[in-house]
Amino acid sequence: MKHRGNKTYRFYKALVIVVTFGLLLIPGYALAHISDIMSDPTPHHPAYIQSRDDLKTVVIPPRSSPYHLNPLSTMNLDIAELIQQVDESLILGYLENLTSFGPRLSGTIACNLSAQYLYETFQGMGLEVRYHNYTDYTVSGRNVEATLPGTGSDNIFIICGHYDSVASSPGADDDGSGVAAVLAAAEVMRNYEFFHTIRFVAFSGEEQGLVGSSHYAEDAYAANETIIAVLNADMIGFAPLPSDGTKGKIFENEASEWIVQYSQAVSQNYWDYIGIELTPQGETWGSDHYSFWQYGYDAVFYHEHNFNDYYHSANDTINHMNLSYSSRFTRLILATLAEMALQPRPVLEISSISGGLGITTQVRNVGELNASDVNISISLTGGLLGLYDMSSITGVDLLAPLESTQHKAIPFRIGTIEIEVAAWASNADQVTKHATGFLLGPLVLRLVVTP
């Protein structure tokens, strides 16, 4: 049934677009737009651009120091207490306030008044708040950002949604639901302390092509901010059938799969308070998480299971939403965020591999916790006739934050060799690095680390 409904919707949307733009655009162009969006796994996309090609192209060097958290296996009672403070009446209040301005099209007075409302609401919670202004050739506007500083780390975790809407719609679900989640998270989290820094961000310019979030991610990247995870909520409040209310979608790229696993574990641990099972969907460029992907940050996009029948219409109203679903979905994102922000971790980094007499490697703990039972291995393969195969492992019981340890292996052969260095700990992810070199007895010459 679900599949059929989706097809009908897509056909309808295709028909509308063809009829609306068919006379204005050459047919090839209009068809390119339709196929670009139809090949994406969700219909949710910026309303006022034609295709992914209209988004800004970003070319950046790859980011280093991945910092992946593993989910905890048990429920944290503080977090259970925290998420129960999110209920339907809290969400409803924010939705009523947001929709009271009328359609929040970027650049209009209603949109600016919404920004002011968000600013003042965050301010009233006692949070640090700022406007993040941006100017683009299509639209200028402001994102609203509130910060809850971490007690022990500058690593940043973000919850976000977009507060702008299309011209004809009150945007209750798209994306009042996401912004209500951001506000609700801020309202309950401000009373607790977290190890890492949390940011609550509402973007505008989403419908014009993810413009607000693109500038935000660009500026964060330029400032070398260590954003570890971005949780983007866009349309989390439509569930007309009881069966829709127990399912949710999450979109991720390969680098962000750890966030999906983390959030799925959180959903299981706090099931009694959430009751939503998340299904990973893969990549889409249809919402603000995509801007963070472009700058090499890990981000996911939370989205309702049953796509809203009233999308981008005057009927995207609160009374077409399921507030139980919206508040439980908010709890899921909040619990994921809270648990991540509480959790310091050791993070290993292979900071160097060098040749000379033997091979020397240096491993550093770039995280915030002691790494326990650290192991470092150096493996060599190749040599004359490819017959050489050696491996050397060493270990230390403890590696404190910002400390390094060294391991040296002395081979004895002739020929070209492949080198693999790996480091792992009982409480940190394994990291590996590769290099090549030429062996002349115990001397390692022309060592080149693979980027």
- What is the bridge-based pairing of β-strands 404-409 and 277-280? unpaired
Comparing CB distances to Zn ion, the nearer of 299 and 439 is 299
Comparing CB distances to Zn ion, the nearer of 333 and 380 is 333
Task: Report the C-alpha gap between 245 and 262 in whole angstroms.
Answer: 21
Comparing CB distances to Zn ion, the nearer of 50 and 377 is 50
Task: Report the C-alpha gap between 422 and 427 in whole angstroms.
Answer: 15
* Percent of the chain that is helix, strand, coil (3-state, to 5): 35, 30, 35
CB of 396 to Zn ion, least distance (A): 49
CB of 213 to Zn ion, least distance (A): 11
Torsion of CA 400, 404, 410, 414, to 10 degrees: 130
Non-local (6+) Cβ contacts of 110 within 8 A are 101, 102, 103, 104
CB of 109 to Zn ion, least distance (A): 21
Choose one: 80-88, 93-101, 227-235, 342-350; the region binding Zn ion (CB under 5 A): 227-235
Give the C-alpha distances (Å, rounded to integers) separating 358 from 94, 421, 433, 444: 64, 13, 17, 6
304 binds Zn ion per the rule CB under 5 A: no
Question: Which pair of structure tokens corresponds to residue 434?
Answer: 């590769």
> 430: exposed, middle or buried (C-beta count within 10 Å: 0-12, 13-18, 19+)?
exposed
Choose one: 228-236, 237-245, 290-298, 394-402; the region binding Zn ion (CB under 5 A): 228-236
Comparing CB distances to Zn ion, the nearer of 145 and 174 is 174
β-bridge partners, 41: none
Total site size for Zn ion, rule CB under 5 A: 3
Comparing CB distances to Zn ion, the nearer of 145 and 234 is 234
Choose one: 234-242, 244-252, 316-324, 368-376; the region binding Zn ion (CB under 5 A): 234-242
Binding string to Zn ion for residues 3 to 32, with x set by CB under 5 A, is what? Answer: ------------------------------
Comparing CB distances to Zn ion, the nearer of 207 and 339 is 207
Degrees to nearest 5, angle at CA 356 with 352 and 362: 20
Binding string to Zn ion for residues 245 to 264, with x set by CB under 5 A, is what? Answer: --------------------
Comparing CB distances to Zn ion, the nearer of 71 and 212 is 212
CB of 395 to Zn ion, least distance (A): 50
Choose one: 226-234, 266-274, 300-308, 335-343; the region binding Zn ion (CB under 5 A): 226-234
CB of 46 to Zn ion, least distance (A): 8
Comparing CB distances to Zn ion, the nearer of 144 and 380 is 144
288 binds Zn ion per the rule CB under 5 A: no
175 binds Zn ion per the rule CB under 5 A: yes
Residue type, position 263, single letter: S
388 phi, psi to nearest 5 deg: -85, 135
CB of 286 to Zn ion, least distance (A): 8
Comparing CB distances to Zn ion, the nearer of 234 and 349 is 234
Choose one: 173-181, 190-198, 320-328, 406-414; the region binding Zn ion (CB under 5 A): 173-181
Comparing CB distances to Zn ion, the nearer of 175 and 304 is 175
Comparing CB distances to Zn ion, the nearer of 234 and 252 is 234
Task: Report the C-alpha gap between 224 and 143 in whole angstroms.
Answer: 19
Confirm if 144 and 201 have CB atoms less than 8 A apart.
Answer: yes
Residues comprising the chain, all counted = 451
Q: Where are the alpha helices (DSSP H) in 356-413?
A: none
Question: Which pair of structure tokens corresponds to residue 338?
Answer: 């809270």
Q: How many CB atoms lie within 10 A of CB 216?
A: 25
In the list 40, 173, 174, 368, the residue contacting Zn ion (rule: CB under 5 A) is: 174
Strands (E), 102-195: 128-135, 140-148, 156-162
CB of 391 to Zn ion, least distance (A): 51
In the list 164, 234, 298, 316, the residue contacting Zn ion (rule: CB under 5 A) is: 234
Choose one: 48-56, 171-179, 272-280, 316-324; the region binding Zn ion (CB under 5 A): 171-179
CB of 392 to Zn ion, least distance (A): 53
CB of 158 to Zn ion, least distance (A): 17
DSSP state of 450: -
Question: Which pair of structure tokens corresponds to residue 302?
Answer: 């939370």
Residue with tokens 């998480």: 289
Which H or E run contains 47?
none
Confirm if 345 and 69 have CB atoms less than 8 A apart.
Answer: yes
Which H or E run contains 258?
helix 257-269
Binding site residues, Zn ion, CB under 5 A: 174-175, 234
